[in-house]
Copies of this chain bind each other. A is one copy, B any other.
């Protein structure tokens, strides 16, 4: 069986990350990665009449631009996508227009790694030549679905994170050049009882620690760079503390997409970025390019999800966390 250790799946053949495409909103376009994105959209509605329709346009455009750029419009075997909205509407409506056989997934902010992991395994399993993995999030659609009406103008908690407006699309292929996905660890749910929707970093950190540790033990690989999805400053600190207590410190080579995407001093985002789009666009615009330029030779990319349900929270439940790891070679 193509499995390493307890929980990690190993790709026998090459699964190339053939190309990526990223689109972000204005706030992300003013951050430290502003010169790295493929498109920056100033208008949060992007000409649509709702934020949900705008998010759909982000996702659909990222997918279409990536396919057009690579002349792959009719060559995709499967589309795997998901997002934060109820019934993953950005993904479903985007899939309607793309007309590609479609697998919808839900993993909250862990979605980018979830789609890439599944896609890699279906290609390595011999079922597909080309798979398109996409995700998106939008500050305005997420905020009103998960927290409070934006019009209220409520003050934000210091532990709160800022949902990234953006979409990332990743093209996986069994031919090509470039970085390859080698090992995939799908996480178990970890839940230490966090009930505060303004502290997602703390809800996700134990899951990140658990999946990262299992992946490192299963593969024995010494990664140049380990990056989590969107734990922000609070969650990143907890992960470092948990590894330090384990005497397995990863601090020197560890970073988090939620702290990379914004200028935390100047952009008033409190604990950092979050949302499915966060790890998607930081991967596409920044980490993928580091691999291409051979600045790093391997990367452990881990998207982290807080499976927060407003209904479950009202019924007294806590917020379960999950993290999926993708081991990539440059």
Residues of chain A touching chain B, judged by Cβ–Cβ distance below 8 Å, are 1-3, 7, 9, 12, 49-50, 52-53, 77-78, 82, 85-89, 92-93, 95-96, 99-108, 114, 118, 121-122, 124-129, 145, 185-189, 191, 307-312, 315, 317, 320, 322
Q: A101: which of B187, B191, B310 is its contact (CB, 8 Å)?
A: B187
Q: Closest chain B residue to A91 by CB distance?
A: B106
Q: Which residues on B sit within 8 Å (CB–CB) of A145?
A: 311
Q: Which residues on B sit within 8 Å (CB–CB) of A99?
A: 188-189
Q: Which residues on B sit within 8 Å (CB–CB) of A188?
A: 95, 99-102
Q: A103: which of B3, B77, B186 is its contact (CB, 8 Å)?
A: B186
Asked whether A128 lies within 8 Å of B3 as measured between CB atoms, the reply is yes
Q: Which residues on B sit within 8 Å (CB–CB) of A322?
A: 92, 102, 104
Distance (Å) between the CB of A170 and the closest chain B CB? 17
Q: Which residues on B sit within 8 Å (CB–CB) of A3?
A: 77, 127-128
A105 with B102, Cβ < 8 A, contacts A78-B186, A125-B126, A127-B9 known = no
A125 with B128, Cβ < 8 A, contacts A53-B315, A87-B308, A105-B106 known = no
Tell me which of A2, A104, A114 has the highest count of chain B C-beta atoms within 10 A of its own C-beta: A104
Distance (Å) between the CB of A322 and the closest chain B CB? 7
Distance (Å) between the CB of A91 and the closest chain B CB? 8
Q: A95-B320, A101-B188 are in contact. List 8 more A-B contacts (CB 8 A).
A: A1-B129, A2-B127, A9-B128, A78-B186, A104-B105, A104-B106, A121-B125, A121-B127
A311 to B125, CA, bound (A): 37
Distance (Å) between the CB of A318 and the closest chain B CB? 9
A320 to B322, CA, bound (A): 29
Q: Which residues on B sit within 8 Å (CB–CB) of A101?
A: 7, 185-188
The 9 closest A-B pairs by CB, nearest first: A125-B125, A96-B189, A87-B309, A86-B86, A101-B186, A92-B307, A106-B106, A89-B309, A104-B106
Asked whether B1 lies within 8 Å of A89 as measured between CB atoms, the reply is no
- The 29 sampled A-B contact pairs (Cβ below 8 Å) are A1-B126, A1-B128, A2-B127, A3-B77, A3-B127, A52-B311, A86-B86, A86-B310, A87-B307, A89-B307, A89-B311, A89-B317, A92-B189, A92-B322, A93-B312, A95-B188, A96-B191, A99-B189, A101-B186, A101-B187, A101-B188, A102-B186, A102-B187, A102-B188, A102-B189, A104-B114, A104-B322, A122-B122, A125-B126
Distance (Å) between the CB of A312 and the closest chain B CB? 5
Q: Which residues on B sit within 8 Å (CB–CB) of A9?
A: 127-128
Distance (Å) between the CB of A82 and the closest chain B CB? 7
